[in-house]
Structure formats: C-alpha cells, structure tokens
Amino acid sequence: MSTYTDPEQIATAYSTLQQTFKSGKTKSIAWRKWQLKQVWWMVADNEEAMVRVLHSDLNRHDFESYWLDVGGVKRDILDHIKHLETWTADDIPDAGFLFGTLCGARIRKEPLGVILILGTWNAPFVVTFAPMVAAIAAGCAVLVKPSEITMASQDLMAEILPKYLDQEVIQIVTGGPKETGLILERRFDSIFYTGSSKIAKFVSAAAAKHLTPTVLELGGQAPCIVTGSADIDSAAKRIMYSKFLNSGQICLAANHVFVDPSVHDKFVERATHWLGQFLKGDGKDQETRIVNERNYDRLVGLLNQSRGNIAYGGDKSREDRYIQPTLVTNVNMQDSLMSEEIFGPLLPIMKMDYHQACSLTSKGEHPLGLYIFSTSQAEIDEILSKTNSGGVTINDIMIHAGVPNTPFGGVGNSGTGAYHGRYGFDAFTHRRPVVCVPGWMDYLFGFRYPPYDKKHVSKITINNPGFKRGEGMEDQVIGEGKTVRVVVRMGKWAMIAVGLALVDARMGGRPRLLEVLMGWVDCLRSRLPM
C-alpha cells in the first residue's frame, strides 16, 4: 500500500501554490506554453508505464489504455498549445462607439487562481491530466489529487509529475477520504471534481463554505432510446460496445435501453450476436475487470436482486473481479438494476416506445449522455425537445464527448460546468472588463455629479423599448434581431466611411461623399434578409 501525503506536506504544497500565484508567474504565456510542452513530454516518456499500471489496476487491454488515457491526454495538450494565444487574447466587446472606440473597452482573460483537481479511477490519467492541462493554459496554479482507488496509477502520477512540471506552480498530493477532507478545508479559487454525485455533494458542501466555484463532472443513468425505425444491427453493436469498453465503467456508457416493442426481439438477438463476437477467442482476457471487490459486490447484488431474465452473459468471478457483459430483459423502472447508475457491464432492456421512453427519462435526473437510435428526423426532434441531458449522440454512443470545439459536461445531477478544448480554458478563466475613460468625457457626462438636477433625467431614462404594449405571441417576429444587428453594423461602418470621405474631399481627393453613401446603400440592400 502506498504512503499518502502527510498533513504537513499538504499544507506546504498549498502555501507554495498560493505564494507563487500571487507573484504573477503564471500569467506569462511563455511559461504556460513551456509547461504544456512539459506535460506532453511527461506523457510521451511514460506511455508504457501508464499502460502497465492501468493493466495492474483494471486489467485493461493496452489498446483501450492508449486510446482512452494516453491518446486522450495527448490530443488535449496539442489542442491547448495550438490555440493558447488566441484564447488568451483580449476580447473586444460590442460596446458602441463611445465605450468601444473612444474608451477602448476590452475583456482580459485572467486566471482564476489556485485550482484543486480531484481525479477519479475509471480513466485515471485522462480525467486528472486533462483538466490540469486546461488549468495550466488558463494560467492557474494547480493542486492535483488523483484517485486512491487505482493505486498503481496514483503512484505513477506522484512519481512523474514532480520530475517534469514546475513544482512552484503544480503540485500533486495523494490520500484517501481523510486526506481529501483535510484538503477541502482549505480555500481554493475553483475545484474540479470528476466522480459520483454522492461524493460531489460533499465536495460542493466543502466548497460552499468558502464560496468556491466548482466544476463537477458526474454521470447518471444514460438511456438509449431505440425506435422502430432504427438500424437495429448497428444500434445493438454500438450500444454493446459501450458495455464492453472499460467493462462499462465509463460515465457515458449506456445505462439502460428502451426498445420499441416492434423491434425488441431483433435487438436482443443482435445484441447477443455482437457480444459473442466481442468475446470470441481471447475476448474474456481483453475485458477490463471491475475496479475492486466493493464495486464487484455492488454489481452482483444488483443483478441477483433483479426480477428480469438474463438473455446473455451472467458469468462472474469475485476472485478475478470479472463480470461478463450481461443482457437483462423484462425489466421495469422499479427493478434493482434501475435503482442507481450501473457503472458496469450489465444492461437492462425495457420494451417501450419512444413516447413512453421520453416521458420516463424526463421524470428522472438529467443524465450526462442521451443516445437516440432512429432514422426518422421527426422522432429525433421529438425526443430532443422532450428530454434534457449533458449531451446527445444520435445513432452511436458517447461520440459527442469527443467532438472538437464543443463543451463536455452535465446538467442537473449529472454535473455543473464543462470542459474540453476552449471550454476547459474558460472554466478556469475570469473575464475582466477593462475600460479607459478619457478626461474630456466629463464634458458629455458632467450631469452625473452632485448636486443633481432633475432636468437631466431625460438624458438617462429610456422610454421607447421598440415594441408596443398589448402584443401577443402571434405578433412576435422571429429573426428581426438579425435584421436590426445588420442595420446597426452597417450604419457604424457608414459613419466611418462618411468621416473618411469628408476628410478626403477636403484634401481634394476621391471618392466624393455622395459616391461613398450610394456605395453603402447598395451594400446595405444586399445584406438585409429578404
């Protein structure tokens, strides 16, 4: 068993990070780039070791480890390096001519401060290093605490991280619930937690004492809805793959399946077929094991209490922490398998049309992922409009989490906040408005100073909202905002053009004012929606 970080070391690490962040060291873009590249070399130099410890912790096949953990982190690092200067650049708000042009209004991207990252065990490297990469890119100091459940992975992280990364800014500590509790007593500027909603409540309660914002990446009972129009063979293959990958121990794995009665039997037959294909030859040896005996016992308990029928699978071994991917039919919402997020290789199947599936899904907690299998756009649109979830993949599983330039996160009980790519950078960034007001502005706004005079009230009130009293829903025009924005934008450029034309005319040059105005009128006509 590993030796955890003692309380004095935790206190020292925390103090070091606080002092370094206050020094301003992390605001340097050069420092951020350098550290991101150091993370790359840390992963590249230790790929084989990472794969080895993942096999030790989870008996995971090398292919899955290279894809999920090693590849996932590498892709994230390169994405942040590529876009770092764009993401950190000031934003220029649409603040109008006065504040935008004359006062130079802008929005600076400032790091939030000292960040605590609490990793989890199912994909220990990617769920720990990916948010760390985002925090480094944002210019934050980081305290990393990996999951103690995957002990070999935790120990490797604790070994390699200090060798590559700036210890004044990025520290790693280890421990169980006791040590985590001590860490959470301290005030951080943001806490990033990946794990169960049960533990997330303790994290949120600790954060609330210091008004610390949190990003919570949780999970939930991700449903699959298979309609009568779906490609059943493809649906069965892709859904069962999510129960084989990491032995279903993924927050985005299919939790249960609602299958239209007209295709239920065919779906079960094809799901059985594909599981058989996945487990051919040395398939059992390729399957990831359940992480520990406690989770093994929990899953077996759910299966033993179920009133459903095992249509495929059911083999298990506590000694090996092995549970064969298992299909369970004739299940209802009151079944033991539906009492909690399964997070394992068990798949309950319910015979139900998509209308009923939508109704039941909307009544429960919002899941992290929702999966729709259908070839009918009308069915897809109805399911989307009647449900809510962190993300949606149509006719496949989990793909939405890997789409570039999109946020990954939950809603409600499946989490708060999001990350991946720019959204990770944004999660650890404070947007700081900056405006520089010239001294002559008092000639225009001197009326704001006391003693007040009521005659100036007309200068600060707004009496024409641009719409009429008594409008109904039928009076609303969709798209008028776009037209107004185009007109305003073109008007601004027209004013600039007029000013330049006047100057040019006084200097004896061309084009003349009338020509400029006519040119802008023609341009405006071409831009307005018809």
User: Which of helix, strand or coil describes residue 521?
Assistant: helix
b/e 10-41 (16+ beta carbons within 10 angstroms → b): beebbebbbebbeeeebeeeeebbebbebbbe
| Distance between CA atoms of residues 294 and 292, nearest Å | 6
| Distance between CA atoms of residues 245 and 72, nearest Å | 15
**Residue of 214, 112, 94 whose CA lies nearest to 431:** 112
Task: From the candidates 140, 224, 251, 358, give the one annotated as an active-site residue.
Answer: 251
Amino acid at 79: D
Instruction: Mark whether 269 is an active-site residue.
Output: no
Size (the chain), residues: 530
User: Which of helix, strand or coil describes residue 283?
Assistant: helix
- The three state secondary structure string of 436-500 is CCCHHHHHHHHHHCCCCCHHHHHHCCCCCCCCCCCCCHHHCCCCHHHHHHHHHHHHHHHHHHHHH
Q: Would you list the DSSP string of 306-324?
A: --SEEEE---EETTTTEE-
| Residue carrying the six token digits 């009293």 | 469
Task: From the candidates 179, 217, 341, 379, give the one annotated as an active-site residue.
Answer: 217
Amino acid at 310: I
Contact at 8 Å (CB) between 119 and 147? yes
Beta-carbon contacts of residue 180 (< 8 Å; ≥ 6 apart): 118, 145
User: Which of helix, strand or coil describes residue 383?
Assistant: helix
Contact at 8 Å (CB) between 322 and 289? yes
**Residue of 429, 426, 428 whose CA lies nearest to 405:** 426
Instruction: Mark whether 251 is an active-site residue.
Output: yes
**Residue of 145, 146, 192, 140 whose CA lies nearest to 169:** 140
Q: Considering only CA atoms, give the Rg of the chain.
A: 29
Beta-carbon contacts of residue 222 (< 8 Å; ≥ 6 apart): 251, 252, 253, 254, 255, 367, 368, 369, 370, 371, 389
Contact at 8 Å (CB) between 212 and 358? no
| Distance between CA atoms of residues 37 and 43, nearest Å | 10
Catalytic residues: 217, 251
